[in-house]
Amino acid sequence: MLQRLIFVSSVQKELQQERYEIRDYVHGDPLLNKHFTVFLFEDMPPEDRRPDEVYLEMVQKSDIYVGLFGSKYGKPNAGGVSPVEQEYLCAREHAKHRMILIKEMDASARDSRMNALILKAQNEVVRNEFSNITKLIESIYTGLVSYLEGQHIITTDPFDAAVHAEAAMDDIAPDKISWFLKRAREERNYPLSENTPPADALRHLDLIHDGHLKNSALLLFAKQPQKFFIQAETKCLHFHGTTVAKPIPSYQIFKGTVFDQVDAAVDFVLSKLNRSVMPQSNSPASAVGYEIPYMAIREAIVNAVAHREYTSNAAVQVMIFADRVEVWNPGSLPAGLVPESLRSAHSSIPKNLHLATPLYLTHYIEKAGTGTLDMIALCTKAELPEPDFKQNGGQFVVTLWRNWLTDEAIKELLLTDRQQEAVRYIKINKKIANADYQKLFSISKPTASRDLEDLVVKGVLQKIGVTGKGTYYVLRLKGLIKGSKGSSPKSQKIPGNNKGLTKGSGVSSQNGIHMGHSKSPKTQGVIKGSKGTLPKASSHKKKNSKQDVNKTNRTSRHGAMKPSKSRKLKRTVKAAKKAPKKQSKNK
């Protein structure tokens, strides 16, 4: 941060303590030491130069001149002018900000030449008097804070409405203004044309005050916004698992304007999600569907960038896990709103109003308090759980679920520890085969089969294939809707063909969601009304049901445990022998 130089002028020996008190106070104050440094002539190391050359040079370099006038005038030079008056005249000549502080005493106790200097100064600037060190420090603090406010260095205005003292129109990118005007005209019928001069466009948006650019103008249209606000960036991270863990497979930091950051972050998330391409009868172009609705992702990210606390050193952070996407932004909800309020109709209270207006005009947001409701509706329509909203210390967090199997839903299904671990495995690896399950938990094939079948019955898994090495299990795409505590998962009808799947894709739901990366066999039908929506047996399977029973018996006999030593295995074999009788009844 740029520090302003304060030059303290006085007769050194007379006001030595006051000079030191000013220096030590400014350098020790949490606010002032960020913005100022104090120069005292006596702090300089020895130099082979005339003293008057040095102190007059430092006056010229300073931003603020502080004159402490007491009773003594000081030793005059050949022209009859003392160093104190020379410094004052130099500050006036170079238009420095002057603060004159006069020590209280009877005028008769002062040197007449000092009285003349005081009279000259008070006709040009406002002066204060001090009787002790406390009064002196109070005047110094008030004067310096007033200077910072006057220079727009500190302000009581909201961050986005405050002006930036060091920015100029040269820092604004004309092409970004033109893009905005064209987009706003198309989206909201904005009256200004894209050829409007940048300064006029910014004034129309109330992004300039007294010739100074507001912070929001820089965040929206600067050539290099991070030159002014290094913290204004969006970090995107992709993890293969369900927790934050190194190494991080993909990590990007996006800078630029708020528009640039939103677009880049959304693209990053979409590139990591499963997707499907669905042919359209009325268009040669195919529609792309994502496992999380595109607009829900965009809404979560644009809200984070628009409503974040820009005075925080933290960045917006987007994290993609195997089961969810989290969007973190520094700050908190406006007064009167709590996370649960976002699930019902509520008013729009923009954190950064001067940012929100251009985002509204370009159709990035609506400014109607509907953003979170839209996210909920989109996820519900896609048969995903509702998003989670929570305050986590100084961060507000939005969680979008990639599938219905949240930790809460898994608990309600009363899965065993082994089954819960299997679900986590599939979230990361997209599928699991019986052999994988056996190896993962060091168990027998019959035990693995019972666990997997139970997960199918409970609606957690979908079995792909009938028997053999090509058979595997994937997560069902539809399930519990948040808030339906204790309800059963919704059944999912598997499409009768694999239209719309990208090459090498796995299972696709009816809303075009792409899951998995291995080739899929022909999908099976569903027995309507069955609890777990088990796949139908194909016709060739029914004809060879007796062979399948014999095969099952052979598999059981060569399992990890001998039938004579395992009652559970006997029950498995017995159940398998009864299976063809049930099928013959259905025939």
476 Cβ neighbours under 8 A, 6+ residues apart = 404, 459, 460, 461, 462, 489, 492
Examine the domain organization and report whether 463 and 530 are in the same domain: yes
**CA distances (Å), 342 to each of 233, 337, 376, 384, 426, in order?**
25, 8, 10, 18, 32
Q: What is the pLDDT of residue 571?
A: 53
H-helix or E-strand spanning residue 424: helix 417-429
Is residue 587 pLDDT above 70, yes or no? no
Examine the domain organization and report whether 260 and 325 are in the same domain: yes
- For residue range 163-192, list pLDDT tens digits in order: 998 899 999 999 999 999 999 999 999 999
- For residue range 281-314, list pLDDT tens digits in order: 777 776 778 889 999 999 999 999 999 999 899 9
Give the mean model confidence (pLDDT) for residues 60-84: 95
Q: What is the pLDDT of residue 341?
A: 86
Give the mean model confidence (pLDDT) for residues 2-23: 94
Residue 23 maps to which CATH number? 3.40.50.450
Higher pLDDT, 261 or 351: 261
Q: What is the pLDDT of residue 1?
A: 63
Give the mean model confidence (pLDDT) for residues 420-429: 88
Examine the domain organization and report whether 254 and 391 are in the same domain: yes
Residue 47 banded pLDDT, cuts 50, 70, 90: confident
Helix, strand, coil % in the chain, rounded to nearest 5: 40, 15, 40
Examine the domain organization and report whether 384 and 259 are in the same domain: yes
Q: What is the pLDDT of residue 477?
A: 63
Cis peptide before 247 (omega within 30 of 0): yes
Examine the domain organization and report whether 252 and 397 are in the same domain: yes
Give the mean model confidence (pLDDT) for residues 526-537: 35
Examine the domain organization and report whether 284 and 364 are in the same domain: yes
Examine the domain organization and report whether 285 and 296 are in the same domain: yes
Is residue 5 pLDDT above 80, yes or no? yes
Residue 387 maps to which CATH number? 3.30.565.60
Q: What letter would DSSP give residue 414?
A: T
Examine the domain organization and report whether 120 and 221 are in the same domain: no
- CB hemisphere CA count around 132 (13 angstroms): 1
Examine the domain organization and report whether 250 and 335 are in the same domain: yes
Q: What is the pTM of this model?
A: 0.58
Q: Given 100, 122, 154, which residue is the final one in a domain?
A: 154
Examine the domain organization and report whether 122 and 172 are in the same domain: no
Examine the domain organization and report whether 257 and 294 are in the same domain: yes
Examine the domain organization and report whether 243 and 379 are in the same domain: yes
Residue 429 maps to which CATH number? 1.10.10.10
Q: Percentage of residues in the chain with pLDDT exceeding 70?
A: 80
8: left (phi over 0), alpha (psi -120 to 50) or beta: beta
Is residue 518 pLDDT above 50, yes or no? no
Q: What is the pLDDT of residue 153?
A: 83
Low-confidence winner among 210-224, 527-541, 568-582 (lowest mean pLDDT):
527-541
How far apart are alpha carbons 528 and 193 in whole angstroms? Answer: 59
What total number of domains does the chain contain?
5
Q: Given 123, 154, 185, which residue is the final one in a domain?
A: 154
Average pLDDT, the chain: 81
How far apart are alpha carbons 24 and 568 in whole angstroms? Answer: 83
Is residue 545 pLDDT above 60, yes or no? no
H-helix or E-strand spanning residue 395: strand 395-401
Q: What is the pLDDT of residue 437?
A: 95
Give the mean model confidence (pLDDT) for residues 381-395: 88
Q: What is the pLDDT of residue 393?
A: 87
Is residue 102 pLDDT above 90, yes or no? yes
| Domain limits for position 43 | 4-154
Q: Given 201, 227, 253, which residue is the final one in a domain?
A: 227
